[in-house]
């Protein structure tokens, strides 16, 4: 099981490869706000754990295991963003909130959140009912 830091790298590498067809150390460093030397060290660790294959001076590619984990991590991130939007969290807070909670939830909790999102998305009136409850609660708090 990857550490939270490894998960951040795998998620970013997977996303870059999906978007651009490749992921360079400089792209990863920029996206994560770290030094390229930190990326190189992590890439070496991910190579040791068989999430990717790294060849010095040649780059790296995700293994099947790395792709599977990366895809699941991106799904988790997007699902949590969808969930927070659904429950009415303001857009400006969503990214940081997801970054703060995504590593602390079990996959069982992620699956249950997926069920809740699906429940609300299946019938739009459920979202409207939730918004009505939120408005009522806001009025009662003032």
pLDDT of 59: 81
**Of the residues 48, 69, 90, the one at which a domain ends:** 69
The end-to-end CA distance of the chain, in Å, is: 46
User: How high is the pLDDT of residue 125?
Assistant: 95
Q: Would you state the pLDDT for residue 57?
A: 77
> How many distinct structural domains can be found in the chain?
2
* pLDDT recorded at residue 141: 85
Angle at alpha carbon of residue 114, lines to 112 and 115, rounded to 5°: 65
Q: Where are the beta strands (DSSP E) in 51-130?
A: 52-55, 59-62
d(CA 34, CA 27): 10
Are residue 65 and residue 94 in the same domain, yes or no? no
Q: Which of 17, 41, 69 is the last residue of a domain?
A: 69
Flag whether 7 is marked binding: no
Closest C-alpha among 55, 9, 61 to residue 36: 9
Annotation-wise, does 11 bind a ligand?
yes
Q: Range of 59's domain?
A: 4-69
Residues 80 and 130 in one domain: yes
**128 labelled as ligand-binding?**
no
The pLDDT score that the predictor gives to residue 56 is 80
pLDDT tens-digit profile, the chain (142 residues): 899 999 999 999 999 999 998 889 999 999 999 999 999 999 999 999 999 999 887 788 999 999 999 999 999 999 999 999 999 999 999 999 999 999 999 999 999 999 999 999 999 999 999 999 999 998 888 7
Q: Give pTM, 2 decimals.
A: 0.88
CATH number of the domain to which 128 belongs: 1.10.60.10
């Amino acid at each position: 099981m990857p550490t939270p830091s490894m998960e951040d790298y795998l998620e970013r590498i997977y996303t870059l490869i999906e978007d651009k067809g490749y992921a360079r150390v400089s792209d990863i460093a920029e996206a994560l706000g770290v030094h390229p030397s930190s990326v190189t060290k992590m890439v070496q660790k991910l190579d040791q754990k068989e999430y990717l294959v790294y060849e010095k001076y040649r780059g790296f590619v995700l293994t099947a295991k790395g792709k599977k984990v990366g895809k699941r991590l991106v799904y988790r991130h997007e699902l949590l963003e969808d969930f927070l939007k659904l429950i009415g969290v303001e857009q400006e807070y969503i990214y940081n909130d997801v970054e703060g909670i995504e590593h602390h939830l079990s996959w069982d909790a992620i699956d249950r959140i997926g069920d809740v999102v699906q429940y609300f998305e299946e019938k739009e009136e459920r979202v409207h009912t939730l918004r009505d409850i939120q408005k009522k609660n806001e009025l009662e708090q003032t």
